[in-house]
Structure 1
Amino acid sequence: MEFLDTTTVRFVFAVVAVTLLGLFYFVTFQRTRSIYSAWWCVALALFLTGSAAYLLDGTAHQVWANPTGNALLVLGVASVWASARTLRARPAPVWQLLAGPAVTLLVSALDSPATNDWSGGPVFLAFMCLLLALASVELWGIKRSSSRVTKSLALAAGLLAAYYLGRWLVFLAEGPDGPTFTTYFDSAITTLITLVLLVVVSFSMAALSNEQVTHDLHLRATRDGLTGLLNRSGFADLALNELNRIRANGTPGALVLADLDHFKAVNDTHGHAAGDGVLQAFADICVATVRSTDLVGRHGGEEFVILLPGADSNRAEAIVNQLSARFARATFAEGFEPPTVSYGIAAINSESTDLAAVLATADAALYEAKSLGRNRAVQGPTGRK
C-alpha cells in the first residue's frame, strides 16, 4: 500500500520518537531522575538517530549510514535491556552493551553497504531478537507492586522478540526480496509495528520510572546507608509482623543483639574508613550466615539486631557462634584483626507481643555478656547462659 512506503513510515517514526523523547525527558526524567528513565531516554534517542540514518539509503551516504543505523538500533535495544536490569538492581556491564552493536557495525560495514540495503541483515536481526528477549526476561522477573505493568511490558518485548525471530528465520530462508519477507517482515511493516509499541510502552515506562523513584525512597527510609541492612525503624516494622506471625502460629523465635567489642579502638587506631569496613564486613557475614527469611538490621553504631523466626535460644546461640567464627577470619587492608563480638539473646514465644520488651531482654543479656568479659553470647532470663 502506498502509505506504507518505507521512507514515509520511517519519517513518521522519527517524528514520533522526537516527540516521545521530549515528553519523556522533560516530563518524566527531569522530575524523577531515575536510572530507568535515563536509560529509556537513551534508547529513544538511539531509535531516533538509527531510523534517521536509514533515510539516507539510496544516496551516496548509504555506505556509512546503513551500518550506522543498524548499530544504533541494536544499541537502542541494548539500552532497553539495560533499563530493565536497573529495575532489579543489576547494572549491565559495558562490554555486554557494546558487543552487539560493535559486531553489527563491523559485519554491516563489510557487507557491501554502498549497494546493499540489507548489509549485515542476519547479524542485525539476530541481535535485535536476542536483546529484546533478554529485556523480556528481565521485566518478567521483576517482583514489584507494579507487576501488572512489568508483565505487560515483558509480554510486549517478548512478542517483538518473537517477531524479530520470524524476520531472521525468513530472511535466512528466502532473503529480503522473498514473498513472505516482503509481505510480513519488510522494513515498513516492522517500523509501523515498532512505532505502535513505542507509543504504548513509553507511557508504561513513565509509570515504572515513578515506581522506581518510590521504591528507592522506600529503601532510603528503611535501609542503613553504610551496610545496606535494615535500619532501626525498618527492622521494627518487619519485626512486628514476624512477632504477630509467631504468635498466630505458636512457633518459637529468637532475637539477637550483637555488639562489636572495643569498636572505638578501631576508629581511633586505624581511622573511620577502617571502622566502616569492619561494620560492612560484619553485616555481610550476618546476611551470608542467616536464612533469607531472617531479619538483620543495624540497631545503631556498632550494634546489630537479628530476628530468627523458628529458632529457639539454643539454635540462636549456635548461629551467633558461626557468626563470630566467620568474622574472626575476616581480613582488612590495614592488616588488623577484627574485633570480637558480644551477643545478647532473647527467646520469643506466642506471648511475646511487645517488641520493645523483647529488645530489652536481649539488651540486658548483652550487657551481661559485656560485664562477663565480652566475646561471648548470653541468653536472656528465660534461657541459660
Structure 2
Amino acid sequence: MVLDTATLRVAFGLMALLLGVLFYIFVYRTTRAPYSGWWCVALALFLTGALSFLLDGTPFQRWTNPMGHVLLVSGAVSVWSSARTLRRSPPGPLMFAAAPAATLVACAVDSPATNTWAGGPVFLASMALMFGLATREMWPAGPAYTRVRIPMTASVGLVSVFYTARLIAFLTDGPGGPTFEVFFGSAITTMITMVLLVVVSFSMSGLISEQQTRALRMVATRDDLTGLLNRKAFLDLATELLGDRAVARGAGALILADLDHFKAVNDTHGHAAGDLALQAFADACRDTVRSADLVGRYGGEEFVLLIPGASAGRADEFAEEVSRRLAQVPTVGGLEMPTVSYGVALYDAGTSDVEDLIAAADGALYKAKSLGRNRTVHSDPQG
C-alpha cells in the first residue's frame, strides 16, 4: 500500500487544528495553565508547518519549504517549553529561537528552491534534540503526575527516538535511499506523529486535571499568608510521621517558635509590617529545613517544626540558623525583624501523641519567654 503524503499532511493539519481548538476552548481558557498554553502554540505551529510542505514542487517552494522546517522545529521547542513549565519557567527568547534559527540558516544555504530536504540534518537533529529535552523535563515532574506522565513521556520520548533514527538513516542512506523511504519517509513520519500527538494531547488533559486536584488539596493544607502548612495539616502529617518508626529511627525534635514582641511590631509599624515579619520568618524556615522536615504556622505569630533525626544540639543549631536568616532580612522604614524564642521537645520511638509533644515544647517556650526571650529552651533539662 502506498501512502499519499499530501493527503496525510492535510489530515495531520486538520487533526492538529481540531486538537488545538478543542484544547484551547476546553482546557486553556478554563485553566490558563502555562503548559496547556504552550501546547496550543505547539499544535498551531505543527499545523502550519505541515501545510507549508503542500507547496513543495511549486515556485513557492523556495520559501515555504524552509518555513515548514522552521515551524515544525518551533513546534518541538514549544513542546519543550510546555514540559519545562511543569517544574520551572519556560526557556527564554534566545533559548527558544536557537534551534529554529539554526534550521533556517541551514535550509537557506542548501538550495531550498530545488531541494525539498534543504537543511535536512540540522532539521532532524533539532527535532530529536527538542523532543529529547521535553522528555527529560517531563519524567521527573513529581509523584502527583505518575498516572498520566508515563504515556505522555513515553510518546514524546518515542518521537525523539524516531527522529534520531531518522537522522541516522538520512546521513547513511540519504533521503532517497530505500531504508529512509520505507521506514522514515514523510508519509510514515506524518502518520506516526499524528498518533503520538493524540496520545500526548489526551495525557496533557489528564495532567491538567491532576494538577487542579493537587492545587485544591494544596490550598486546603496551606496557610494563606506564609504558604506553610496550616495547623490541621501539620498535626495530621506529624501524627503520620511519628507513627512511622522507619523515619530517622523514630527519633527527632519538635520546635515551637514564637516571634518576640510581635504585638509591638503591629502597633508601631502597622499590620502590613507584621505580615512581612511573619512571611520573612516562614522564608527563613523554608531556607533551613530539609525535604523530610515539617514546618507549619501554628497560630498567630507561633510556628511549629518537626525535625526527624534531630538531636538536642541539632535543634539548637536549627533555631540559631533560622534566627540568623531572619535577622539578615532587609527592611525599610525603621522596621527591625523581631527576635524569636524557641521551645524544643525531643521525641523517640515511644512517642506517639503529637499534642503531648507540642505541650512539652510549649512549656519550654514559656520558660524561654520568662528568661528574657530570644533564646532556645528544651523541655528536657538535660537537653
Q: TM-score scaled to structure 2, two decimals?
A: 0.88
Looking at structure 2, the residues matched to 60 and 278 of structure 1 have their Cα atoms a distance apart, in angstroms, of: 68
| Pairing 1:81–2:80 present | yes
Partner residue in 1 for 2:52: 53
Q: Tell me the equivalent position of 1:93.
A: 91
Return the alpha-carbon distance in structure 2 between the equivalents of residues 130 and 270 of structure 1: 54
What is the CA distance between 1:235 and its match in structure 2? 1.7
Displacement, 1:239?
Answer: 0.8
Q: 8 Å contact 2:144–2:214 — kept in the other structure?
A: no
Write out per-residue CA displacement over residues 357-378 of structure 1, whole angstroms, 9 at most, x where no aligned residue.
3223322322332232211112
Q: Distance in 1 between matches of 2:106 and 2:218?
A: 44
**Unaligned segments of structure 2, at least 5 residues:** none
- What is the CA deviation profile of residues 49-78 of structure 1, one whole-angstrom value per residue up to 9, with x for unaligned ones? 221222222233323322222222112122
Match of 1:232 in 2: 231
Aligned-residue offset at 1:337? 4.8
SS for the counterpart of 1:224 is coil
Q: Indicate the SS of the match to 1:55.
A: helix
Equivalent position amino acid for 2:128 in 1: C
* CA displacement at 1:178 relative to structure 2: 2.5
Q: Distance in 2 between matches of 1:155 and 1:167?
A: 18
Cα separation, 1, equivalents of 2:113 and 2:10: 21
Q: CA deviation at 1:265?
A: 4.8
- Partner SS, residue 344 of structure 1: strand
Alignment check: 8 A CA contact 1:378 1:384 kept: no
- 2:219 aligns to what? 220
What residue number does 1:374 align with? Answer: 373
Taking structure 1 as reference, are residues 148 and 341 closer, same or farther at Cα in structure 2, changes over 3 Å only? same
Note if contact 1:362-1:379 (Cα within 8 Å) is conserved in structure 2. Answer: yes
Contact 1:345 1:366 in 2 (8 A): yes
In 2: Cα distance, 1:109 partner to 1:183 partner: 27
Partner SS for 1:208: helix
In the alignment, the residues of structure 2 paired with residue 267 and residue 75 of structure 1 have an alpha-carbon distance, to the nearest angstrom, of 52
CA–CA distance in structure 2, aligned partners of residues 18 and 33 of structure 1: 19
- CA distance in 1: counterparts of 2:111 and 2:278, whole angstroms: 60
Instruction: Report deviation, 1:285.
Output: 3.0
In 2: Cα distance, 1:275 partner to 1:127 partner: 52
Paired residues of 2:151 and 2:199 also in contact (CA < 8 A):
no
- Number of residue pairs the alignment of both structures matches: 382
Superimposed CA distance per residue, residues 332-379 of structure 1 (whole angstroms, 9 cap, x where no aligned partner) = 466865332111112223443332332233223223322322111122
Change (3 A) 1:255 1:154: same
8 Å CA contact 1:64, 1:113 repeated in 2 = yes
Aligned: 1:112 with 2:111: yes
Q: Any unmatched runs of 5+ in structure 1?
A: none
One-letter identity of the residue aligned with 1:315:
R
1:4-43 to structure 2, matched below 5 A, reads 4-43=3-42
Q: Which amino acid aligns with 2:127?
A: M
Distance across 1 between alignment mates of 2:273 and 2:110: 56
Secondary structure of the residue that 2:307 maps to in structure 1?
strand
What is residue 349 of structure 1 aligned with on the other side?
A: 348
Q: Distance in 1 between matches of 2:66 and 2:189?
A: 18
Distance across 2 between alignment mates of 1:123 and 1:334: 57
Instruction: For residues 15-69 of structure 1, give each alpha carbon's deviation from its aligned partner in whole angstroms, at most 9, with x where no partner exists.
Output: 1112222332333334444333222222212211221222222233323322222
SS of equivalent residue, structure 1 residue 311: coil
Contact 1:247 1:350 in 2 (8 A): no
Q: What is the correspondence of 1:37-186 to structure 2 with a 5 Å cutoff?
A: 37-87=36-86, 89-95=87-93, 96-186=95-185
1:226-266 Cα deviation digits (max 9, x unpaired): 44432323222211101212499973222111122234555
> What's the offset of the Cα at 1:270?
5.8
Contact 1:167-1:185 at 8 Å conserved across structures? yes
CA distance in 1, matches of 2:303, 2:178: 68
Of 193-202 and 318-327, deviating more is: 318-327
**Given the superposition, is the C-alpha separation of residues 249 and 296 from structure 1 closer, same or farther in structure 2, using an over 3 Å criterion?**
closer
Cα separation, 2, equivalents of 1:193 and 1:8: 14
Q: Is the 8 A contact 2:242 2:250 kept in 1?
A: no
Matched position secondary structure for 2:193: helix
RMSD: 2.7
CA contact (8 A) 1:34 1:213 kept: no
Instruction: Please list the CA deviations of residues 197-235 of structure 1 after superposition, one character each: whole Å capped at 9, or x if unmatched.
Output: 112222222111111111222222223344443232322
User: Is 1:319 matched up with 2:318?
Assistant: yes
Measured in 1, the distance between the counterparts of 2:141 and 2:202 equals 18
Contact 2:152 2:199 in 1 (8 A): no
1:383 CA drift (Å): 3.6
CA 1:341 to 1:211, structure 2 compared with 1: closer, same or farther past 3 Å?
A: same
Shift of the 70–226 alpha-carbon distance from structure 1 to 2, 3 Å rule, reads farther
Q: Is the 8 A contact 1:32 1:210 kept in 2?
A: no
The 8 Å contact of residues 13 and 195 in structure 1, kept in 2 or not, is answered as: yes
Counterpart position of 2:359? 360
Contact 1:247 1:349 in 2 (8 A): no
Partners of 1:38 and 1:118 in 2: how far apart?
Answer: 31
Matched position secondary structure for 1:254:
strand
CA separation in 2, counterparts of 1:272 and 1:65? Answer: 61
Q: 1:35 to 1:213 in 2, by over 3 A?
A: farther
Moved more, 6-15 or 268-277: 268-277
Percent identity over paired residues: 55
Q: Residue type of the partner of 1:94?
A: G
